[in-house]
C-alpha cells in the first residue's frame, strides 16, 4: 500500500473514533439529564449536536478525497465505504440524542413521573454497543462486532419492558399521558440508537467476511 494512503487511512480511523466519542458523550449526558431532571445538561446535548454534524461533513469530504486521490481497491475501498456509512449512522445517533434531550427538557418542566429502572441499564448497554461497534470497525474485529449484535436483543427486550410499564402508567394515571408519551419516545430513540450501532457492527462483518447478515436481524422488533 502506498505510504500516503496508509497515512490518510490512519487519520480517518482517528477521525471516526472522535465522532464516536462525541456521540458516546451525548448519550451519557442525555441520560443524566433525563434521570436527574437537569434541563441545562439536555440543552448542552442539543447545542453539541452541531459539532457532531460538522464532523460528519468533514469525514465524508475526507473519504471522497481519499477515493479520488488514491483510488483504493479491495479491503481499503471497503473500509472507506464502511466509514462513510458508519459516519452517517453516527450523525443519526447524535440526532437521536438531541431528540431525547428535547424530551428531557419537557419532562424536567413538568411534575416527575417514575421512569422504570430498566431505562438506565438500557442506556448503559447502548453506550457499550456504540463504543464496541466502532472499536470493531477500526480494529477490524469480527468477534467484537458479533458481540454487538447479541446485545441488540437485550435492548429490544428492555424497550418492550419500557413500553409495558409506561402504558400501565397511562392507565393508572391518565394525567400522566403526555409525559409518558415523551418517555416512550425517549426509550424508542435509545432503541433506535442500538439499531444503528448494530448496523455498524453488521457493516464491519460485511467488510471483513463479505457476509451479508444485516437483513436477517434488522427492522421488525422495534416498537
* Residues that bind a second copy in the complex, under the rule CB under 8 A: 46, 49-50, 53-54, 56-57, 63-64, 67-68, 71, 73-74, 77-78, 81, 84-85, 88, 95, 98-99, 102, 163, 167, 170-171, 174, 177-178, 181, 184-185, 188, 212, 214-215, 218-220, 222-223
Q: What separation in angstroms does the CA of 154 have from each of 65, 127, 150, 161, 189?
A: 39, 13, 7, 11, 15
Q: What distance in Å separates the CA atoms of residue 6 and residue 73, rounded to the nearest whole number? A: 13
Q: Which is nearer to a second copy, 8 or 49 (CB)?
A: 49
| H helices present in 36-141, as ranges | 39-70, 74-108, 118-139
Smallest gap, in angstroms, from Cβ of residue 31 to a second copy? 18
For the purposes of burial, counting CB atoms within 10 Å of the CB of 3, is it exposed (0-12), middle (13-18) or buried (19 or more)?
exposed
Q: Is the CB of 74 or the CB of 143 nearer to a second copy?
A: 74
What cell was used for 87?
459516519
What are the cell numbers at 135? 472499536
Cα separation values, 204 from 100, 154, 161, 167, 176, Å: 27, 21, 30, 37, 42
Q: Which is nearer to a second copy, 146 or 218 (CB)?
A: 218
Q: Closest separation between CB of residue 36 and a second copy, Å?
A: 22
At its nearest, how many Å lie between a second copy and the CB of residue 195? 9
Distance in angstroms (rounded) separating the CA atoms of residues 131 and 101: 20
Give the residue with the Cβ less far from a second copy, 142 or 163. Answer: 163
Say which residue the cell 393508572 belongs to: 172
We find the least distance from the C-beta atom of residue 106 to a second copy, in angstroms, to be 11
- In the bound state with a second copy, the residue whose beta carbon lies nearer, of 18 and 53, is 53
Q: Shortest approach of a second copy to residue 16 CB, angstroms?
A: 16
Least distance from a second copy to the Cβ atom of residue 57, Å:
5
Task: Identify the residue whose cell numbers are 457499550.
Answer: 128
- Give CA–CA dist 5/200, Å, rounded: 23
Of 110 and 124, the one with the shorter C-beta distance to a second copy is 110
Amino acid at each position: 500500500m502506498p505510504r500516503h494512503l496508509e497515512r490518510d487511512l490512519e487519520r480517518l480511523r482517528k477521525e471516526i473514533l472522535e465522532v464516536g466519542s462525541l456521540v458516546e458523550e451525548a448519550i451519557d449526558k442525555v441520560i443524566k439529564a433525563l434521570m436527574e431532571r437537569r434541563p441545562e445538561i439536555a440543552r448542552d446535548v442539543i447545542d453539541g449536536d452541531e459539532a457532531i454534524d460538522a464532523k460528519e461533513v468533514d469525514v465524508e469530504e475526507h473519504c471522497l478525497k481519499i477515493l479520488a486521490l488514491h483510488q483504493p481497491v479491495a479491503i481499503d475501498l471497503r473500509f472507506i465505504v464502511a466509514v462513510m456509512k458508519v459516519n452517517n449512522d453516527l450523525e443519526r445517533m447524535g440526532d437521536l440524542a438531541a431528540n431525547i434531550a428535547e424530551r428531557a427538557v419537557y419532562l424536567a418542566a413538568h411534575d416527575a413521573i417514575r421512569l422504570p429502572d430498566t431505562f438506565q441499564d438500557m442506556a448503559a448497554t447502548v453506550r457499550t454497543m456504540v463504543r464496541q461497534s466502532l472499536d470493531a470497525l477500526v480494529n477490524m474485529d469480527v468477534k467484537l462486532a458479533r458481540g454487538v449484535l447479541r446485545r441488540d436483543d437485550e435492548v429490544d427486550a428492555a424497550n418492550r419492558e419500557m413500553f409495558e410499564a409506561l402504558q400501565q402508567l397511562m392507565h393508572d394515571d391518565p394525567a400522566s399521558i403526555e409525559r409518558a408519551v415523551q418517555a416512550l419516545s425517549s426509550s424508542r430513540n435509545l432503541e433506535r440508537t442500538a439499531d444503528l450501532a448494530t448496523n455498524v457492527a453488521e457493516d464491519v462483518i460485511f467488510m471483513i467476511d463479505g457476509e451479508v447478515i444485516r437483513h436477517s436481524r434488522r427492522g421488525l422488533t422495534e416498537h
